[in-house]
Structure 1
Amino acid sequence: MAVPPELAAAELTINLAELVENWRMIARQVAPAECGATIKANGYGCGATEVAQALWTAGCRTFFVALPVEGKQVRDALPEAVIYVLDGLFAGQSDFYIAHGLRPSLVCPEDLHEWADAAGGRHKAAVHIDTGINRLGFDHAQAEALSADADLMRRAGLCLLMSHLASGDDETSPSNANQRDRFAGLRTLFPDLPASLANAPGTFLGPQFSHDLVRPGVALYGGNPLTGKPNPMRSVISLNAPVLQVRDVAAGDGVGYGATWRADRPSRVAIVGVGYADGLLRAMSWPAQQDGPAKVCIAGQMAPIVGRVSMDMITIDVTDLNPEQVRRGTAVELLGKNIGVDDWARWAGTLSYEILTSLGRRYAKVYSS
């Protein structure tokens, strides 16, 4: 159910034009490889339908989701799109995939045989080979056995060879070259299949990782795909909430549950109605996990979150801000041009992926283009 802006905890704005520019930048970078888009987890919290439609209009034709139900949502919006389901073929659900034109990424021999029996060469699928992350995927011996069975591959309608990088966001990790070389060896077993290895970080590792199709995810939504480097992506989301109240706090008084922050001077504290139920993680409580304290931006000035992040609210030390600029109803930037999802991730000791997919349902969601 859509939340009316006047009744919402905050307003979350998704700039689809910036998202499209992020996709186009990666597409130019990996050309002549095709640039797809990963839109699982409801488009990383940004709305799978809206994201898919914007990217389709921009020229994206291949989409990746995690679950078959996510694939159906995208299919309902884009009747002609190519849609892969990364979590494989759910047992007994071949008919669902076929009915909605979904291509499973087959991850084990059981997947393969069930799909081959159901598809009979009339419907397509990818095959996922593990090259070192040790999650989903055929091992090397299973891949060799499959490559020797031309009839099984035909009945399974194999049209894409996939693998997944374990450390693509760290360009110094030796596992990237190891996985690249293993994948190159596996490609010789399946010379007729187009190949896909690179997720969002992998698209920045060079042309040896791009192959025929890349599948960026977090970078499309403004997350930094490069650990320890400046973010090359455009900001996509902004989050703003009003001040509910400004109160005076005496020196020595505590604020919030457990009084984990105490004022060291007479202070003013602004209360904002956004908390961990809305995706502002409890780990961002004073003094935050890393590089704290976490901050917000009010009237162009940064102000620290103090006390604990609770389910429904945060408290902000605004003592150093002009009282005329911080009143009940004043807009507070939680995410936007001054504060990015990677800032939240750093303060919470986590990843931008978790921040994006945790953004709550109590926001009024607005799309701009």
Structure 2
Amino acid sequence: MTTAHDGLLTIDLSAAGDNYLALSRRLGRGSRCGAVVKADAYGLGMSKLAPAFFRRGCRDFFVATLDEGLALRRLLGDDAAIFVLTGVRAGREQECVRAGLVPNVFTLQQLRAWMEVCDQAGIQAACGLKVDSGMTRLGMTADEFGRLLRDRGLLSAANISVIMSHLACADDPQHPQNRRQLDRFREAGERLRDELPELQLSLANSSGIYLGEEYHFDLARPGSALYGVNPRPGEENPMSAVVNLSLPVVQQRHVADECWVGYGATQRAEPGSWLAVARGGYADGIIRAQGNRGCGWACGQRLPMVGRVSMDSTTFDISGLAGPERAGLAHIEVLNDAVTVDEVAGYAGTIGYEVLTSLGHRYTRRYTGS
């Protein structure tokens, strides 16, 4: 959806594809690289990005919901494996079976329900099993997993193709939880593989890929790093920037006397300073918490945000620009190679994932690259 908002969100498909290849090259021999395209490819457009990854050789895709999976199947056809990370709701299993999607199950009850639907359809459709290795989110508990291993009849009848878990602290390589989760997941995978020799194991997310080869197993599933978020916080970002967001300047003003700027009068503008108001605010994903601390970019300079971010506008101090630069100032970029997703997340007290998924739909979206 595009409107006459005039803000321009540019998404570089080539950069995203290059990120996929860079992550693939990090993996050990025998490990495949998938792509997480849930939440509309982190808000950037699954219909454009999933084919870009497919063209770079990706054949394993991860979505969050059945509807995302159905849309992706229509988009990519039958040559892609599509995993539904949060499973499938009761009553919609037949749709999942017909589309050839692989839902995660987290409980014995879900596993039996999936098998019953497959029996009714007369096919043995694959499912994934997610176990809780220490994040205490979605995943089969240790007690239920033990009962599953003891139920040989259920194991032989279930078509579990992959076992997964999710790392809680992969972006902190020194955190002891990484090793604890690795050990628990490896043990669970080995015990299940004793019964299901063809089973695949999947643990590593974007940051998990950088923890080392022992975390890679058969299938890695990066998400945020594909879209330019740094998988190694505190170190140089190995990923290419994917997004550029440019806001139109709708007013400039010269400050004659000291004054307050924005809601709540939280910041002063000094006499003699210059301000620019750009169209784009928290309704467009310019996260409100950036107020008084974030920045934009124009003419090779960072331009401080002044005052609180409004719903539809954001104010910048452009005093550092030369007169001709101010006169020609038509747009201010708030995401680019210099003002990165991770930097913006730091201003807003959040993570790059939220910055991307918050980007609004009033921008004109332009896709570059192939």
Which amino acid counterpart does residue 18 of structure 2 have in structure 1?
E
Kindly state the Cα deviation for residue 333 of structure 1 after the two structures are TM-superposed: 1.3
2:184 aligns with one of 171, 177, 182: 182
Q: Distance in 1 between matches of 2:156 and 2:236?
A: 45
Which amino acid counterpart does residue 91 of structure 1 have in structure 2?
A
Kindly state the Cα deviation for residue 83 of structure 1 after the two structures are TM-superposed: 0.5
Kindly state the Cα deviation for residue 329 of structure 1 after the two structures are TM-superposed: 5.9
Where does residue 134 of structure 1 map in the other structure? 136
Q: Distance in 1 between matches of 2:75 and 2:64?
A: 17
Q: Distance in 1 between matches of 2:227 and 2:15?
A: 9
Q: Could you state the TM-score of these two structures normalised by the residue count of structure 2?
A: 0.94
Mapping of residues 96-245 of structure 1, within 5 Å: 96-120=95-119, 122-191=124-193, 192=197, 193-245=199-251
Is 1:77 the counterpart of 2:75? The answer is yes
* Equivalent residues of 2:255, 2:270 under 8 A apart: no
Kindly state the Cα deviation for residue 261 of structure 1 after the two structures are TM-superposed: 1.3
* Structure 2 counterpart SS, 1:250: coil
* Structure 2 counterpart SS, 1:266: coil
Which amino acid counterpart does residue 269 of structure 1 have in structure 2?
L
Q: Report Cα offsets for 1:158-216 as digits up to 9, x if no partner.
A: 10011110101100100000000111111222112110001111000001100000000
Q: Report Cα offsets for 1:324-369 as digits up to 9, x if no partner.
A: 2124761211111211100110000100010010011111111111
Mapping of residues 1-369 of structure 1, within 5 Å: 1-3=1-3, 7-32=4-29, 33-80=31-78, 81-120=80-119, 122-191=124-193, 192=197, 193-286=199-292, 293-327=293-327, 330-369=330-369
Kindly state the Cα deviation for residue 154 of structure 1 after the two structures are TM-superposed: 4.1
Kindly state the Cα deviation for residue 9 of structure 1 after the two structures are TM-superposed: 3.7
Q: Distance in 1 between matches of 2:153 and 2:116?
A: 12
* Equivalent residues of 1:45, 1:357 under 8 A apart: yes
Structure 2 gaps, min length 5 = none
Which amino acid counterpart does residue 160 of structure 1 have in structure 2?
V
Q: Distance in 1 between matches of 2:324 and 2:248?
A: 15
Q: Distance in 1 between matches of 2:156 and 2:33?
A: 26
Which amino acid counterpart does residue 324 of structure 1 have in structure 2?
P
Q: Could you state the TM-score of these two structures normalised by the residue count of structure 1?
A: 0.95
* Equivalent residues of 1:252, 1:263 under 8 A apart: yes
The number of residues matched between the two structures is 360
Structure 1 gaps, min length 5 = 287-292
* Structure 1 counterpart SS, 2:192: coil
Q: Distance in 1 between matches of 2:357 and 2:40?
A: 8
Where does residue 290 of structure 1 map in the other structure? none
* Equivalent residues of 1:119, 1:157 under 8 A apart: no
* Equivalent residues of 2:35, 2:223 under 8 A apart: yes
* Equivalent residues of 2:9, 2:244 under 8 A apart: yes
Q: Distance in 2 between matches of 1:316 and 1:2?
A: 25
* Structure 1 counterpart SS, 2:191: coil
Which amino acid counterpart does residue 224 of structure 1 have in structure 2?
N
Which amino acid counterpart does residue 334 of structure 2 have in structure 1?
L
Which amino acid counterpart does residue 34 of structure 2 have in structure 1?
G
* Structure 2 counterpart SS, 1:258: helix
* Equivalent residues of 1:9, 1:274 under 8 A apart: no
Q: Report Cα offsets for 1:45-76 as digits up to 9, x if no partner.
A: 11011111111111000000111111111111
Superposed CA RMSD in Å reads: 1.3
